[in-house]
Structures are given as structure tokens and as C-alpha cells.
Amino acid sequence: MFSIKTYNDSYKVDWNNFVDISKNSTFLFKREFMDYHAEKFEDYSLLIFYNSDLIALFPCNIRDGEVYSHEGLSYGGVIVKSDLKFLKYLELFTYLLKYFNEKSIKKLYIKQIPSIYNSNFNGELDYLSFVTGAKIYRRDIISVIDMQNENKISKDRLQGYKRGKKNKLEIKETDDLDEFWNSILTPTLLNRHYVNPVHSLHDIKKLKRFFNNNIKQFNVYHEDQIVAGTTVFLTKNVAHVQYIGSNSEKNSLGSLDFLFYNLITEHLSNYKYFDFGNSHEQQGMKINKGLNYWKEGYGARSLTHDFYEINISNFHKLNNLMI
């Protein structure tokens, strides 16, 4: 009664429509987002049907004979509708692992979507990963503000905001990404970390054309010159900080504190959560102390983001789960 189809463009409308109604998806799972860098990954995304009804998606790629919840995305997992009950989830997940086993795939790697992005509870994958003896091969913490609660902003952050106000800084939301990328973000990353942004200017402009309501750019100006900015990804529940950048005068001007105080208390205050992302280095094994301290100054606290490694052959452990 179950069947699996490998994604191709003929399924694009069905795929995108399902993303809109699922309980654990964001615009990152839309095909326009997944396909913008298609040449970098061997897409292996799957559609899972029960009889003729589409009941789940699995955005993924294949590399060296192993399957990954899509490596071009920040998170992933099995995408399902809110009304899918546990028993049916168990059946489809078992079928998915058997499908991979028949394809001689030995391991499956999943970057679970953090819980704040879900529109309903989504613990099935975490539990079934445990039952199959999955290894947590990485666990990050992301710094999140619960905007539904009153959060005390630290004196340091308030002083920075007041400095920005004294210096008559100005915040502008803009559709123009060139100024921030060329004047702030790219040079800052190259000078401080010897890396480029994950998204090139060409890529992020392309994505913004597709998702103008989800990708927002806020810049800070001092005497009409850009001094800082941030690119924010907006989903149903969450305002996620994708990029942050400032010039060398950020501390004297208070530019970043001025920017984020205003975003959190005004511009983006209607979101349930404000996600600063992680402060990790060295594949999650180290934390940038200063960056983590700065985020917590706004009331952000730690939420885990788990990465699972599943041995496909362990699907048999799911066979007699229900008693």
C-alpha cells in the first residue's frame, strides 16, 4: 500500500503544495530553494505515497552511497502532515528504511528540524531514531528568544542601543542586497574568518526573487553610510538571523545593538521565536564565547539541534514495536 517515487520536475507542484500543508516544513523545502544550487548535490529527494495519497516527503541527497537529509539545507527530516498519527508514521518510516536497504544504502544522516519551526508536535523521528539505535553524530545549540515571554535585555545590550540612538543611527528595510553583501558581509567574513558567505550575492538575490516575503534585509546607516546589517529568514513561527555583519566601528557606534534591539522589540516582535542560530566552531565542538554571550544578552537561551546517523539495516528493530 506504500510506494516511493524519486522526485523529478513533474512533481514540483505536488511537492510545493505538500510543503505548505505539512507540520514540520518551512520555505527552505520549496523546490525553488532546494534547486538553486542543484549542481552541488546529487538530489535523491523522495515522495512517499499511501495508496494514491501523498503522505510524506523526504528532501535528501546521496553521496558516496549514503543518504543525507539535504546537505544544502540547515535542517530536514521526514516532512508530514499534522493529522498523520504515530502508527502510520511508524509504517512509513519502516518502509522508507526498507526502501534504502533494497537500494544497498547502508547509512542515513538526518539533520532534524528544530522544534520551534514546527506547527505541531514532531517527536516521531526522534523516538524512532532512538529505537533503531541511531547515533547522535552532532548536537548543536541554537540561541533562541521566546518572544511570547517577557525577556530582560542586559545592561550591555541596552547601552549599545542607547549609543546607537545617540549617534543617530537609522534602520532601513531594503530589497537591495548588493550594498550589504559588497560593503559589509563579504569583506568582514574574508577579513575575520577567511571565508565567503554560504550564499553568493547572485544566489541570495535569486532566492529573494522567489521568496521576497520570507527573506528580509535590514541595514543600519550612520550619516547615510551603511555600517551594519542583517539578513533574516522569516517562517511561520520564527525570525531566523541568517547573516550578521558590521564595520569596525560597531562598538563605538552601537550599530549591532541598535539594530537587534529594534528588530526584537519592534520590527519582528510579532514572531513566536527569534532564532540567532548557533555560535559553534570546529563542527560544533567549540563555542564562540563572546558571540554566545552577546546573543544571551537579548534573552536568548539554548535549544538543541540534533543530527542523527541511522544504520539502515536496523529497520528490523521497528517490526514489533507496537504491543
Tell me: the pLDDT tens digits for 276-301?
999 998 988 999 999 999 999 999 99
The three state secondary structure string of the chain is: CEEEEECCHHHHHHHHHHHHHECCCCHHHCHHHHCCCHHHCCECCEEEEECCEEEEEECEEEECCEEEECCCCCCECCEEECCCCHHHHHHHHHHHHHHHHHCCCCEEEEEECCHHHCCCCCCHHHHHHHHCCCEEEEEEEEEEEECCCCCCCCHHHHHHHHHHHHCCCEEEEECCCHHHHHHHHHHHHHHHHCCCCCCCHHHHHHHHHHCCCCEEEEEEEECCEEEEEEEEEECCCEEEEEEEEECCCHHHHCHHHHHHHHHHHHHCCCCCEEEEEECEECCCCEECHHHHHHHHCCCCEEEEEEEEEEEHHHHHHHCCCCC
Q: What is the pLDDT of residue 248?
A: 84
Q: What is the pLDDT of residue 257?
A: 97
Q: What percent of the chain has pLDDT over 70?
A: 100
| pLDDT tens figures, 30-74 | 999 999 989 999 999 999 999 999 999 999 999 999 999 999 999
Q: What is the pLDDT of residue 173?
A: 98
pTM over 0.85: yes
Whether 149-271 and 2-140+305-318 are alike in CATH topology: the answer is: yes
Name the CATH superfamily, with its identifier, for domain 149-271.
Gcn5-related N-acetyltransferase (GNAT) (3.40.630.30)
| 2-140+305-318: in CATH 3.30.565.10 | no
| pLDDT tens figures, 136-147 | 999 999 999 999
pLDDT average, residue stretch 11-36: 98
Average pLDDT of every residue of the chain = 97
Q: What is the pLDDT of residue 249?
A: 80
pLDDT average, residue stretch 167-190: 97
| pLDDT tens figures, 86-116 | 999 999 999 999 999 999 999 999 999 999 9
**Domain regions of the chain by residue span:** 2-140+305-318, 149-271
